[in-house]
Amino acid sequence: MFNEFQKQCEKLAGKVEIPPKGIDADLAAPCFEAAKKEGRSPVEIAKELEAKFKKLPNLIQKIEAKGPYLNFYINYDEFSKLVIDEISRRGDKYGSADKKKTVVIEYSSPNIAKPLTIGHLSTTIMGQALNNIYTFLGYKVISDNHLGDWGTQFGKLIYAYKTWGDKAKVEKNPIEELLELYVKFHREAETNEKLNDEARAWFKRLEDGDKEAKEIWEWFVEVSLREFDRMYRVLGVKFDHSIGESFYMPMLKDIIQETLKKKVSKEENGAIIATFDDMPTALVQKSDGATLYLTRDLATIKYQKKEFRFWKRLYVVGSEQRLHFRQVFRMAELLGYIKEGECVHVDVGQISLPTGRISTRKGNVVFMEDVVNKTIEMAKETLKKKNPDLKNSDEVAKAVAIGAIKYSNLSRDRVRDMKFDWNEILSFEGDTGPYLQYTYARANSILKKTRSKPSKNPVYEEAVEQSIIKKLSQFSYVLERSAEENKPNLIANYIFELATLFNEFYHTHKVIGSDDEAKRIALIKSVMQVIENGLDLLGVSVLDEM
């Protein structure tokens, strides 16, 4: 509904904007441009506009010239009931849109035979959230898990498995065993140069389609995916496709030729490289003929542009790969696969744990699963203390823990690094998942007590009620911006502000038994719906009780 109000303002005064905090207007039209055009002062223009409109459209209560701005104020008598009505009518679709364009979103993209680590946690969660947001806005989303299933490391792994491996052990505990074999290979190779030759030979056999090598590799892929899927299920993460890097192998020869022909790359000392004015050189093919991660990314773009005809392709990947993607995207543009801006690196900062808080398993990495399990355990303890009589407490604890992890990741500016601190993210106070879930549950407890039907024609006079109405009306505006900037944190921050306003209202206003019960119930229901819609996009579930 806020955009209806905005449209009415724009019809009167052209471009309007949301004024900065501290200015009490709901929208403001800066008069600088008109002033420049007419060679007059903006203050004068604002004054003139203020006097010009005698009869205002229904959503505008008043207009007021303030310096070089024309300020607009919402007519809450009309506005409130429209907002409440729209939310109750559209329910869990409130805020959604119908954009239709195709967006490919790539996220998680772990490497086969390696664990999902705490590093994958943020990209996986962020990617799924963007998938949810774009889908809600009516984009046709195609999600892709770009599995790292190719590369010389598989030669090492096959060799290590054939030399030291145990099939039953790998079946039972695939990632941990394979990681151990990999670590062992590197340890042994330090004193035995021959091992690297053996590994290269195995990788060559794999590339040449040797039956045994291929079977072992396929098995690595299969057991790894089984493990990944377990985590994805816990986190509510889904993909339409999981196209591994190996899929693009048959296309690489032609792509490399194309880069040469189009002078995007050149030969140097037997290798093929691409040079740039403003970036370091990129390797397209090694001198021994081996292809590379970057080349497979070029093939991915060419293939998917043709196959999916995407409007945009988003790469939700850690910021340490920033240079890689700049190089890939530039080359793809020069090759004519895409236009500038069609591929976007949605870069995500790193997460670090407070040292000593969790033991690292083999290979000195922090497993995502360990972090998640520890969070669930801690949530169980917290809930036991806070609400010993809670029904389904294990399930609730899981929802609180997963919600806390996701919310903490999604509420920060994604490019900034994050410190993962259990006490902080599980706190019931402050900008946390549990705080929002608790706010929702508290609102729900009022609904359970009321006998009133929500009012259909509410008029709100109190400032905090009006602020809540305005916030509610801005939901879709926030969603659009969050998609534009690929920043789920805008939604998280919005829900937090809404919840804060609601709690302010809750602490200062009586609902049950007050004269205003029916209209306050309408407000509470709307707040709950919007919190639910917003948290749902972040993958955080709401709880009726906690």
Site membership for ligand ARG, residue 111 (CB under 6 A): yes
Is the Cβ of residue 13 or residue 346 nearer to ligand ARG in the bound state? 346
Helices 463-473 + 517-538 axis angle, to 10: 40
CB of 317 to ligand ARG, least distance (A): 4
CB of 368 closer than 8 Å to CB of 176: no
Q: How far apart are CA 284 and CA 266, in angstroms?
A: 9
Site membership for ligand ARG, residue 227 (CB under 6 A): no
Q: What are phi and psi of 273, to 5 degrees?
A: -130, 160
Is the Cβ of residue 30 or residue 127 nearer to ligand ARG in the bound state? 127
CB of 300 to ligand ARG, least distance (A): 6
Q: What are phi and psi of 295, to 5 degrees?
A: -65, -40
Give the residue, chosen from 6, 29, 75, 146, that forms a contact with ligand ARG under the rule CB under 6 A: 146
Q: How many residues bind ligand ARG (CB under 6 A)?
A: 9
Q: What is the DSSP string of 119-177?
A: HHHHHHHHHHHHHHHHHHTT-EEEEE---B--STHHHHHHHHHHHH--HHHHHHSHHHH
Q: How far is CA 6 from the centre of its chain?
A: 28
* Of 51-59, 103-111, 407-415, 420-428: span binding ligand ARG (CB under 6 A): 103-111
| Residue of 479, 378, 445 lying closest to 139 (CA atoms) | 479
Site membership for ligand ARG, residue 109 (CB under 6 A): yes
How many CA atoms lie within 13 Å of 540's alpha carbon, on the beta-carbon side? 31
CB of 107 to ligand ARG, least distance (A): 9
Is the Cβ of residue 65 or residue 118 nearer to ligand ARG in the bound state? 118
CB of 297 to ligand ARG, least distance (A): 5
Give the residue, chosen from 19, 148, 236, 363, that forms a contact with ligand ARG under the rule CB under 6 A: 148
Q: What is the DSSP string of 255-271?
A: HHHHHHHTTS-EEETTE
CB of 403 to ligand ARG, least distance (A): 26
CB of 524 to ligand ARG, least distance (A): 44
Residue in the shown chain whose Cβ atom is closest to ligand ARG = 148
Is the Cβ of residue 320 or residue 395 nearer to ligand ARG in the bound state? 320
Is the Cβ of residue 115 or residue 488 nearer to ligand ARG in the bound state? 115
Site membership for ligand ARG, residue 542 (CB under 6 A): no
What is the bridge-based pairing of β-strands 69-74 and 27-30? antiparallel
Q: How far apart are CA 146 and CA 380, in angstroms?
A: 35
Considering only residues 414 to 473 of the shown chain, the ones binding ligand ARG according to CB under 6 A are none
CB of 470 closer than 8 Å to CB of 26: yes
Kindly give, in sequence order, each residue whose CB lies less than 8 Å from that of residue 410, ignoring residues fewer than 6 positions away.
125, 126, 129, 488, 489, 491, 492, 538
Q: How far is CA 281 from the centre of its chain?
A: 31
Is the Cβ of residue 330 or residue 519 nearer to ligand ARG in the bound state? 330
What is the bridge-based pairing of β-strands 266-268 and 282-285? unpaired
Considering only residues 287 to 346 of the shown chain, the ones binding ligand ARG according to CB under 6 A are 297, 315, 317
CB of 201 to ligand ARG, least distance (A): 24
SS3 content of the chain, % helix, strand, coil (to 5): 60, 10, 30
Is the Cβ of residue 106 or residue 516 nearer to ligand ARG in the bound state? 106
* Of 36-44, 59-67, 105-113, 365-373: span binding ligand ARG (CB under 6 A): 105-113
The residue to which tokens 């986190």 are assigned: 235
Is the Cβ of residue 217 or residue 315 nearer to ligand ARG in the bound state? 315
Other CB atoms within a 10 A radius of the CB of residue 203 amount to 23
Q: How far apart are CA 24 and CA 19, in angstroms?
A: 8
CB of 162 to ligand ARG, least distance (A): 24
CB of 171 to ligand ARG, least distance (A): 24
Q: How far apart are CA 516 and CA 24, in angstroms?
A: 26
Q: How far apart are CA 543 and CA 387, in angstroms?
A: 14
Is the Cβ of residue 159 or residue 315 nearer to ligand ARG in the bound state? 315
Is the Cβ of residue 116 or residue 522 nearer to ligand ARG in the bound state? 116
Is the Cβ of residue 189 or residue 348 nearer to ligand ARG in the bound state? 348
Is the Cβ of residue 228 or residue 315 nearer to ligand ARG in the bound state? 315
The conformational region for residue 114 under phi > 0 = left, psi -120 to 50 = alpha, else beta, is beta
The residue to which tokens 């996986």 are assigned: 124
* Of 109-117, 167-175, 355-363, 493-501: span binding ligand ARG (CB under 6 A): 109-117
* Of 1-9, 107-115, 229-237, 406-414: span binding ligand ARG (CB under 6 A): 107-115
Q: How far apart are CA 315 and CA 228, in angstroms?
A: 19
* Of 104-112, 129-137, 164-172, 195-203: span binding ligand ARG (CB under 6 A): 104-112
Full 3-state SS string of 35-51: HHHHCCCHHHHHHHHHH
Q: Which residues bind ligand ARG (CB under 6 A)?
A: 106, 109-111, 146, 148, 297, 315, 317
